[in-house]
Amino acid sequence: MVFDFLKKGGGGAVPEEKASAVGRVISYGSAGRVAWSPRDAVSLTRTGYSGNPVGFRCVKLIAEAAAALPLVCQDAERRYDTHPVLSLLARPNQAQGRAELFEALYAQLLLTGNAYVEAVEAGERLPGELHVLRSDRMAVIPGGDGWPVGYEYSVGGRKHRFALGDVPQVTHIKAFHPQDDHYGFSPMQAAAMALDVHNAASRWSKALLDNAARPSGAIVYRGDASGGGMSNDQYDRLVAEVEANHQGARNAGRPMLLEGGLDWKPMGFSPSDMEFQKTKEAAAREIGLAFGVPPMLLGIPGDATYANYQEANRAFYRLTVLPLAAKVTAHLADWLSAWAGEPVMLKPDLDQMPALAAEREAQWRSIGGAEFLTAAEKRQLLGLPPLETADE
């Protein structure tokens, strides 16, 4: 980024421009294009979210769990029960509440690796409204120094450009991408191959169901007295009768009437047919692995005991939901602090999370019983702001 510093001396202050040494090189590599892996965001969302139950469940499970987390608003001195930032997040716009806004925000980040929030000015220090914008419609505009100077939102052939000023109207939250300087890498992209395998397995199962829910057999023609084969009319008539009367779930188990030297030879399941369901389950596990969702929370067969489910749920919150929520809320807090003109901290309230109740209780008990710690040190370890006076 470009920072202006004052060089002292001579006739007065002369502005000096500082910039990253590799910034201009970055701008040439990603000039105004949405850089995705081989699949674009729209197609990947359609096949991995709208068309796949495992991908849909992963995104919905994480987004809803993170959006439902209670938030704490505080600064370096105190924790607030009421604050303009909390009021803004409680009712970010006329169409959404806090849960709906955060669910859309987390879902965009999981589906595309990028999330954009627009602030609508209202003349006060904080925005009047907040809106989550679709990531597939947004493009980063890099400047000559390589860093973004604006964003361009495209809908139906029309474009709107957001400029980045001292207090940007749009903030960009992105996941880490090792090969892109402007866009994030989503779990959906990492799970793309497993999604293809799972979708192909579902289509194979549907085709198997359409064919009487069993592997197809062979109709053997033994020939007539002259030893000739079937005529074209006989072959077409036989294919039409089989498709009309012996395929599909409604015709399962229906007896077949054969005539004219025809014989039915059924075929059993091959070893590949028997292993196909395991391949589908393995693909579902890989999708859950990419998103950080334990298999038993997705209904995938495994060691689904009550104790294991509790541990899986706790690990899900600790390793997936909390890191994502902490990153997003910290980013929003920095952005809203620039609007408010004062530092504000937003973070998930760990003490109000049922999944972590046992851990927090043990932590409070161990820290509270540590007599060698002062009250200020205990509050710091628990993430609480310091007391205003020593007497308190």
* Together in a domain, 277 and 129: no
Three-class secondary structure of residue 316 per DSSP: helix
Residue 249, pLDDT score = 53
Which segments of the chain does DSSP mark as H helices, in order?
23-29, 41-45, 53-67, 84-90, 98-112, 187-190, 192-210, 232-245, 271-291, 306-316, 322-340, 357-368, 375-381
When divided into structural domains, the chain yields a total of 3
The least confident of 31-40, 120-129, 260-269, 278-287 is: 31-40
Distances (CA, A) of 96 to 88, 89, 103, 104, 132: 11, 10, 10, 10, 10
d(CA 136, CA 154): 9
> Model confidence over 154-210: pLDDT tens digits?
998 899 999 888 888 999 999 999 988 899 999 999 999 999 888 888 887 777 767
Q: Please name the amino acid found at residue 180.
A: D
pLDDT at 327 over 80: yes
Contact 99, 67 (CB under 8 A): yes
* Together in a domain, 332 and 377: no
271: number of Cβ within 10 Å: 7
Tokens for 299? 């209904």
Domain boundary among 282, 297, 314: 282
Asked if residue 44 belongs to a domain, the reply is yes
Q: Whole-model pTM? A: 0.74
* Together in a domain, 155 and 110: yes
* Domain coverage including residue 360: 355-392
* Together in a domain, 117 and 250: no
d(CA 133, CA 20): 29
* Together in a domain, 239 and 322: no
Tokens for 254? 């229906």
Domain boundary among 282, 312, 328: 282
pLDDT at 310 over 70: yes
Task: Supply the mean pLDDT for the chain.
Answer: 79
Domain boundary among 237, 259, 282: 282
Average pLDDT over residues 228-235: 70
Q: DSSP code of 352?
A: G
